[in-house]
């Protein structure tokens, strides 16, 4: 009986509704968590898997030795590699294509690579305007590697102690 009365009084006084309004009312004054994208960005982990790149050694020599481990491990089968003997007698790729439409950014290629040649940079802003631009050729990948080498090295350095 007492319980029933309590329930009745509560519903008459809109108790539950007022409680709900108190929650939203409190949130009105809470600090807003919106990140205003072009001006602000969310923090990014050094392990972020973004656009691919092929790295070079500090002396300018290509790291990739065309072992094709990345091609073999790629679950999306987006890497295509042809190899040949280069002029200095080393084994090099003549073709290294990554289809970014197929790629799922799992990072297995980077894990498989014995010489840290193929890496996923932390670049997340890129787009394709024409058909065919989604195929990253060896030249493009090397250029990206050259452009972001410092960043790539820094990210690898930050993650080294966990590997």
Residues that bind other proteins (CB under 8 A): 17, 20-21, 23-25, 27-28, 30, 32-34, 36
Q: Nearer to other proteins by C-beta: 31 or 163?
A: 31
Q: Nearer to other proteins by C-beta: 12 or 150?
A: 12
Least separation, in Å, of the C-beta of 13 and other proteins? 10
Best CA proximity match to 52, nearest among 147, 159, 161: 147
Best CA proximity match to 79, nearest among 101, 57, 61: 101
Least separation, in Å, of the C-beta of 12 and other proteins? 9
Q: Nearer to other proteins by C-beta: 28 or 162?
A: 28
Distance CA 130, CA 118 (A): 25
Sign of the CA dihedral 135, 104, 110, 149?
Answer: positive
Sign of the CA dihedral 9, 12, 16, 21?
Answer: negative
Least separation, in Å, of the C-beta of 16 and other proteins? 10
Least separation, in Å, of the C-beta of 24 and other proteins? 4
């Amino acid at each position: 009986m007492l319980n029933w009365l309590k329930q009745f009084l509560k519903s008459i006084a809109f108790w539950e509704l007022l409680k709900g309004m108190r929650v939203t009312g409190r949130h009105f004054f809470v600090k807003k968590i919106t990140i205003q994208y072009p001006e602000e960005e969310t923090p990014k982990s050094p392990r972020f898997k973004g656009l691919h790149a092929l790295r070079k050694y500090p002396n300018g020599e290509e790291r990739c030795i065309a072992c094709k481990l990345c091609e073999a491990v790629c679950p999306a089968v987006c890497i295509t590699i042809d190899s040949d003997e280069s002029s200095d007698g080393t084994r090099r790729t003549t073709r290294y294509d990554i289809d970014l439409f197929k790629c799922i950014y799992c990072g297995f290629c980077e894990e498989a690579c014995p010489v840290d040649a193929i890496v996923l940079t932390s670049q997340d802003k890129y787009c394709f305007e024409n058909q065919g631009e989604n195929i990253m050729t060896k030249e493009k990948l090397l250029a990206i590697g050259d452009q972001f080498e410092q960043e790539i090295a820094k990210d690898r350095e930050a993650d080294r102690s966990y590997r």
